[in-house]
Amino acid sequence: MSFGEQADLYERVRPGYPEALAAALGARPGLRLLDVGCGTGKASAAFRAAGCDVLGIDPDPRMAELGRERGLEVEVGRFEEWETAGRRFDLVIAGQAWHWVEPRIGPTKASRLLERGGRLAPFWNYRHPAGPLQSRLEPLYARLAPALLEHSPLLGTVDDIEELNRYAEAITLSGVFEVAEILRFPWTTSYTTEEWAGLSRTQSDHRLLAPEALEELLAAVGEELAHGGPWVVDYESAVVIATRR
């Protein structure tokens, strides 16, 4: 699924990642890093700030262009077919993107790009909008989009343990990495009602709704949240780390 038609909105409302995550992955001047599915560069921002030498790759030219506008070097292409031109890296990351990579190809290709002892580290943000926000949203979703209420990253109803274990197992079973481990980094942010509505529009599951159904849902959300906020949301950034054999 392409996010290019919403590139500006994506850049404005999608969350970044905590500096502690980059530090845990060894961010430092001169570290050679490949950002898979880099989009507008949110995942690599903290690494670039730490002095890493970052190259991004993204299949969507519109997302890549925004990344370039932010100063990120970006090449356009799908990771599975991307021409590596003999380049090598110390770290391969993927923020909110590794699940789009073919699991039988991704780890093997990443291992060929990494120096021995280099690491593959895809990571994801898991949202936990409990409390007043969740209690006000649940009745609306139950009425207008019950399937999303059952399994939605936006609403924090995804089984993150199952997902992360599945990603880690796929990387480990590739045979080209040591056993993958999982690290978690909790953090908190807040959203205005307008920001939350914009964030909703960038979610894959919401974008799969019929346009009129999505507009009805977001209108109801906007009306319900009009008198309140900012809305505090707890996040947990989780990274699956594996070292190249």
Sign, CA torsion 212/215/217/220: negative
Query: Are 124 and 93 within 8 A, CB to CB?
Result: no
Q: What is the spatial distance between Cα 67 and Cα 40, in angstroms, rounded to a whole number?
A: 4
77 token code pair: 């292409």
Per-residue pLDDT of 44-58, as tens digits, reads: 999 999 999 999 999
The DSSP 8-state label assigned to residue 244 in this structure reads B
- Confidence (pLDDT) at 10: 76
Place of tokens 């990494």: 114
Domain harbouring 135, CATH code: 3.40.50.150
In what helix (H) or strand (E) does residue 235 lie, and over which residues does it extend? Answer: strand 231-243
* Residue 240, C-beta contacts closer than 8 angstroms, at least 6 positions apart: 98, 121, 122, 123, 164, 167, 168, 171, 180, 181, 182
Pick the closest to residue 35 from 205, 171, 25 (CA basis).
25
DSSP secondary structure, 25-70, as one string: TT--TT-EEEEET-TTSTTTHHHHHTT-EEEEEES-HHHHHHHHHT
- Confidence (pLDDT) at 4: 53
Sheet holding 231-243, edge to edge: 73-76, 53-58, 32-36, 89-95, 114-128, 231-243, 181-191
- Confidence (pLDDT) at 211: 94
Per-residue pLDDT of 123-163, as tens digits, reads: 999 998 888 899 999 999 999 999 998 889 999 999 999 99
Residue 188 in this model has a pLDDT that exceeds 80: yes
Give the rounded percent of residues in the chain with a pLDDT score beyond 70: 98
Other CB atoms within a 10 A radius of the CB of residue 54 amount to 27
Select the more confidently predicted residue: 227 or 32. 32
For the chain, what is the domain count?
1
Region 23-37 average pLDDT: 97
Range of the domain at 83: 4-243
Residue 18 in this model has a pLDDT that exceeds 90: yes
pTM of the model: 0.91
3 pLDDT band, cuts 50/70/90, is low
Other CB atoms within a 10 A radius of the CB of residue 63 amount to 26
Three-state secondary-structure class, residue 41: coil
Region 101-128 average pLDDT: 96
Region 12-32 average pLDDT: 95
